[in-house]
Structure 1
Amino acid sequence: MPELPEVEIIRQYLDEQLPGRTIACADILLTRQLKYPEPEAFQSLVAGKRMKGMRRRGKYLLLDLQDGSTIVFHLRMTGSLVYDPSGNQRDAYARMVFHLAGGGALVFADVRTFGCVYGFAAGEEIAVSGLQSLGPEPLSEAFTPAYLAQAIRGRKQPIKSFLLDQRRIAGLGNIYADESLFLAGIHPRREAGSLTQAECKKLAAAIQHVLRDGLADGGTTFRNYRNGEGGYGRHQEHLCVYHRAGKPCPTCGRPIEKITVGGRGTHFCPYCQH
C-alpha cells in the first residue's frame, strides 16, 4: 500500500503538472470505485473545471478545482494516479480517466480495486470518514515526542498496532512502522503504554527519519506502487527489516524474523529490539 512518502511523491509531481489545466471530461470505467456522488453528477462536477493544485492528508490526495470543488483519491493497496502527457497510453487497470483540454490525461488505475474516488462541490463538506478522523502528520510540528507520549499513555495495544492507527498518526503504514521500530530498538509487540519518555523521543525521531529517507529515495516499490509519472521508487533497496525475513540484521548480523501483530505481517530483529 502506498504510504505517506509514496503518496507525497505523487502529490509533488502532479502539483507541478496539473495546476492551470482544465478537465475536459471524465471517463468512469468502474463505477463502484466512485463513492460519491453518482457518476453523472460527478462528471458534471468536474467537466470544464480548471485544476488549482494537489494536496495530501495522510494517505489521501485532494485535487482542488478553481471553483472550490474537490476530488478526493484514496489509493489504498494497489491504486495509482499517473499523469499521461500524451493522453494516448492506456493502463489495463485504468478505472477512471480525466481527459485534459489541449491533450493529456490523469489516470486513476487500481489492480485490486480497493481504492476510492469522491467528488465534492464548492461549499460542500468533504464527508470522507477516514479523512476527517486523521491524527497529526508525522513530519509536521504537531508531531512531537510529547504528543506521542500523551497518545500512548495507558494503552495496552502493541506499539506496532498503535503506529498503524491513522487516528493517532496520519500516513504511517506497515513498511515505515517496521523500519521506525527497528531504528528505535523497540519490539513491535511491546505494549504502547510501556514506552518511556526517552523511548518516545527516540521513536518520534525514528519515524521522521525513515519517512524522510523514503521521500529521498522516491518511495518504496515491491509490486504495484508507481509515482505520478508511472515510475518506480528505490527505497526497497535500503530497508533494514521490512521484507527481509531470514536475512541478516544490518546491526547484529542475526536473522530478521517475521511475525504477525494485529493481523499485519511484521519484520523485526529479536536481538536488537526490546
Structure 2
Amino acid sequence: MPEMPEVETVRRSLVPLIKGKTIEKVTLWYPKIVSTDHQKFVNELPGKKIIGIDRYAKYLLIRLSDNLTIVSHLRMEGKYHLTSWDDPKDKHDHVQFAFTDGTALRYNDVRKFGRMQLVLTGTEKLTTGIGKLGFEPNSPEFTDEYFIDALRKHKKNIKTTLLDQTIVAGLGNIYVDEVLWQSKIHPLSEANKIPREKVVALRKNINHEIARAIEKHGTTVHTYLDANGETGGFQEFLQVYGHAGDPCARCGTKLEKIKVNGRGTTFCPKCQVVYK
C-alpha cells in the first residue's frame, strides 16, 4: 500500500500534469471505485477546473472549481497516469477524467480496492475516513506530549497501534518497521508500557524517516509508481523491511520476521527491547 511519502510523491507529480485543466467528461469503467453517488460524480464534474491537489495522510484531495473536492485513496495498488482520450484502455484502467485539451487522467488499480468520493470542499473530515485519523508526522500538532499521552491510552502492541492511523496518520508497514528498529523498540511492546524517553525518540524518528522518504520520492517495493510512471528511491535506504535473514546493520544479529496482527514484521531480536 502506498504510504504517506508515496502519496505525497504522487501528489507532487500530478500537480504539473493536471492543474488548470478543465474536465470535459468522466467515464466510470468500474463504478464501484466511486463510493458516493455515481451519477452525481459523472454529471457534476464536466466543466469543473482542477485548481490544486492537497493531501492528508494517505488521501489525495483533488480540488475543483465550484467548491468541490475528489477525495481519493489509492489503497493497495492504485495509480494515476496522464494519457489522451483515444489511447487504448488498459484492462486495469477504471476511471477516466477526459480534459478539454484532449488529454485524460486515468485511474488504474489491479485489485480495484481504491476509492474516490466527491464532497464539498472543507467537509472532508465530516464525510470521509479522514475524520478518524490522527495527526500527520511533522505537523505542529504531532508533539511529544500528544504522542506520549496517546500511547498511554493503548494496551495493544506498538506495531498494531501505529498502523491503525488514529494516533499518527500516514504510516504503513514499511515505515513502522523502520522507525521501531531505529528506536530500538520491539514491535510486540505494549504501547502504554514504552518509557517516555523512548516515545520521544520514536516520534523524532517517525518525523525524520517520513521526511527522508518524501525527499527520495517514496519507496517502491512491489508496484508503486508516481503519476509519471517513475519508481521511488527510498528502498535503497531501508534497514529492516525486506531484509529478514540479513544481519542487523547495528549489531550484526540475524533479523527475524514474524506476523503481527496479520502483517509481516521484520525486527532485530537483540537490539529491539520488548516493553511489557
TM-score between both structures, scaled by the size of structure 1: 0.94
| Partner of residue 77, structure 2 | 78
Q: Structure 2 vs 1, CA of residues 201 and 25 (structure 1 numbering), >3 Å: closer, same or farther? A: same
| Partner of residue 161, structure 2 | 162
| Partner of residue 35, structure 2 | 35
| Partner of residue 198, structure 1 | 197
Within-5 A mapping of 1:1-274: 1-38=1-38, 40-84=39-83, 88=87, 90-121=89-120, 128-274=127-273
Q: Percent identity?
A: 40
Give the conservation status (yes or no) of the 8 Å contact 2:124–2:130: no
Could you list the runs of 5+ residues in structure 1 that have no partner in the other structure?
A: none
Distance (Å, rounded) in 1 between the aligned partners of 2:271 and 2:59: 34
SS at the partner of 1:5? Answer: helix
Distance (Å, rounded) in 1 between the aligned partners of 2:162 and 2:187: 10
In structure 2, what residue type is equivalent to 1:148?
F
Give the conservation status (yes or no) of the 8 Å contact 1:21–1:51: yes
Q: CA deviation at 1:144?
A: 1.6
Q: Which moved more, 1:180-189 or 1:262-271?
A: 262-271
Give the conservation status (yes or no) of the 8 Å contact 1:6–1:215: yes
1:203-259 alpha-carbon deviations (Å, 9 max, x no partner): 001111111121122111122211121211121121000111111211112211111
In structure 1, what residue type is equivalent to 2:242?
H
Q: Structure 2 vs 1, CA of residues 73 and 123 (structure 1 numbering), >3 Å: closer, same or farther? A: closer
Distance (Å, rounded) in 1 between the aligned partners of 2:180 and 2:16: 34
SS at the partner of 1:35? Answer: coil
Q: Structure 2 vs 1, CA of residues 197 and 85 (structure 1 numbering), >3 Å: closer, same or farther? A: farther
In structure 2, what residue type is equivalent to 1:131?
I
Give the conservation status (yes or no) of the 8 Å contact 2:29–2:95: yes
Q: Structure 2 vs 1, CA of residues 94 and 227 (structure 1 numbering), >3 Å: closer, same or farther? A: same
Q: CA deviation at 1:156?
A: 1.4
Distance (Å, rounded) in 2 between the aligned partners of 1:254 and 1:124: 49
Distance (Å, rounded) in 2 between the aligned partners of 1:163 and 1:202: 15
Q: Structure 2 vs 1, CA of residues 273 and 29 (structure 1 numbering), >3 Å: closer, same or farther? A: same
Q: CA deviation at 1:126?
A: 6.5
Give the conservation status (yes or no) of the 8 Å contact 2:183–2:205: yes
Q: Which moved more, 1:169-178 or 1:15-24?
A: 15-24
Distance (Å, rounded) in 2 between the aligned partners of 1:185 and 1:87: 53
Q: CA deviation at 1:48?
A: 1.3
In structure 2, what residue type is equivalent to 1:248?
P
Give the conservation status (yes or no) of the 8 Å contact 2:137–2:206: yes
Q: Which moved more, 1:188-197 or 1:81-90?
A: 81-90
Distance (Å, rounded) in 1 between the aligned partners of 2:98 and 2:29: 13
1:160-179 alpha-carbon deviations (Å, 9 max, x no partner): 11111211111111100000
SS at the partner of 1:9? Answer: helix
In structure 2, what residue type is equivalent to 1:26?
V
Q: Structure 2 vs 1, CA of residues 12 and 122 (structure 1 numbering), >3 Å: closer, same or farther? A: closer
In structure 1, what residue type is equivalent to 2:164?
D
SS at the partner of 1:6? Answer: helix
Q: Which moved more, 1:178-187 or 1:87-96?
A: 87-96
Distance (Å, rounded) in 2 between the aligned partners of 1:192 and 1:269: 18
TM-score between both structures, scaled by the size of structure 2: 0.93
Q: Structure 2 vs 1, CA of residues 163 and 112 (structure 1 numbering), >3 Å: closer, same or farther? A: same
Q: CA deviation at 1:91?
A: 3.6
SS at the partner of 2:21? Answer: coil
